[in-house]
A = this chain, B = another copy of it.
Amino acid sequence: MSKPTVGFVGLGAMGFGMATHLVKEGYPVHGFDVFPASVERFKTSGGIPGESLQDSASGKQYYVCMVASAPQVQTVLFGAGGIVSALPQNATLLLCSTVPASYAQSVAAELQSRGRGDIHFIDSPVSGGAKRAADGTLSIMAGAPSASLESGRFLLEAMSDANKLYLVPGGIGAGSNMKMVHQVLAGIQILGSSEVMGFAAQLGLDATKTAEAIKSSDAWSWMHENRLQRMLEEDWHPGASALTIILKDVGIITTSARENQFPTPLCSTAEQVYLSALLQGYGPVDDSSMVRQYFSEPIMKVACTKSAEETAESLQLVLDMMEVTNTVAAAEAIAFARYLGVDLKQFFTLVNDAAGSSRAFMTKGLEMIEGRIGQNTETVSDAIRRLGKAVQRARDLHCPLNLGNAAMNVLIMAKKAGLGAEGSTSVIKVYGK
């Protein structure tokens, strides 16, 4: 049986990989992009060039939208000559762009109000980067009514890893919320990776050895491991993940948090540092360049002249800083997920297999999710002491430590709320019930 024809818009870094993978899988794919060069390149890779946006949608029973942002989605779906007016009856439409859940819900409402409630609309943001997009091994978080999910499932499966297709309960918006709460961790830990390496450099520690120690410790995060090589090599132009990409995702988080009047002190802190860096011209370059916000020279230049004892003591500060900060990050993400009604067990599974993963999330995050809040042996007061030493040393060195200080203030607020003697996982209580 021949495979059905698929329409596709948005042939950027991610979309190009996704669309060409579908081509490789044997789907006839009609691709469109506002940049003619991208369409031409798609043609070279075996795709069928759409002559116009409408052409890419006309008569297509299946359609994938992978443009960059909600305003772009609005234009391609509902603007003049847009996709929705061209799709046939009962078509299936996958929205894979990262957008606010409220925006995904507004698309469903607009389809109804325009009399196109027949369209099987799926809210299905993706994660994993350009390489996994091209390999068809993305993580996909898909939410929709079950009939729609049933209709689009083969396409979702074609683009995702077998173990990384998450059918998220809760309908339209649930997929976007799942992606968003994952990005709380990503947004904090991308900056955290730079903060910890900059702090280590200010302490006079060898960058490679410090990174090795972090990797094999409770301070590990996926982002640290992933950004490390580019940070060490200052491989930022263009790099693999521009600052503007995480900044867009973080903006969705903080905007949604404001709408929900939910506190996100760490994610907000990260956002402000990203915005400062944007003002300094770092927007288009790799986000591992954030290390420059903490240390003004390449960190590989640091030659450690400390004694073994001093090195061990400084390294401990670095590990403590990152681990405790990642614990507060886990609390922030889990509390927000819980508030939004996200399935926490699915969230846990997804994170551990994705870019937001950290050892602190795997252990302390799991305790928070399983209702063992405050039962771990290290108390809030212990964590304050441990992080406090690192924060004070950074201050003595005149090293910014944005996340470390933000985490410190959250922990102290937990203590002020009477949680000092409870296990440090009870820091999640600061974020409300």
Residues in A lying within 8 Å of B, measured CB to CB? 251, 254-255, 257-258, 261-265, 268-269, 271-273, 275-276, 278-279, 293-296, 381, 384, 388, 391-392, 395, 398-402, 405-406, 408-409, 412-413, 415-416, 420, 430-432
Task: Output the nearest chain B residue to A416 by Cβ-Cβ distance.
Answer: B432
- In Å, the complex CA distance between A296 and B276 comes to 10
Contact B279 A405 (CB under 8 A): no
Contact of A416 among B405, B416, B431 (CB under 8 A): B431
8 contacts between A and B (CB under 8 A): A254-B405, A255-B392, A258-B408, A261-B384, A263-B416, A273-B276, A275-B399, A276-B293
- In Å, the complex CA distance between A358 and B398 comes to 29
By a CB distance below 8 angstroms, the chain B residues around A251 are 395
Listed from nearest, the 9 A-B pairs whose CB atoms lie closest are A416-B432, A275-B400, A263-B412, A265-B409, A268-B405, A272-B402, A263-B409, A276-B400, A263-B413
- In Å, the complex CA distance between A398 and B392 comes to 31
Contact B416 A258 (CB under 8 A): no
- In Å, the complex CA distance between A278 and B394 comes to 13
Task: Output the nearest chain B residue to A420 by Cβ-Cβ distance.
Answer: B261
Task: Output the nearest chain B residue to A429 by Cβ-Cβ distance.
Answer: B416
With A279-B296, A413-B263 as known contacts, state yes or no: A392 contacts B272, CB within 8 Å.
no
- In Å, the complex CA distance between A293 and B265 comes to 20
With A275-B399, A409-B264 as known contacts, state yes or no: A391 contacts B258, CB within 8 Å.
yes
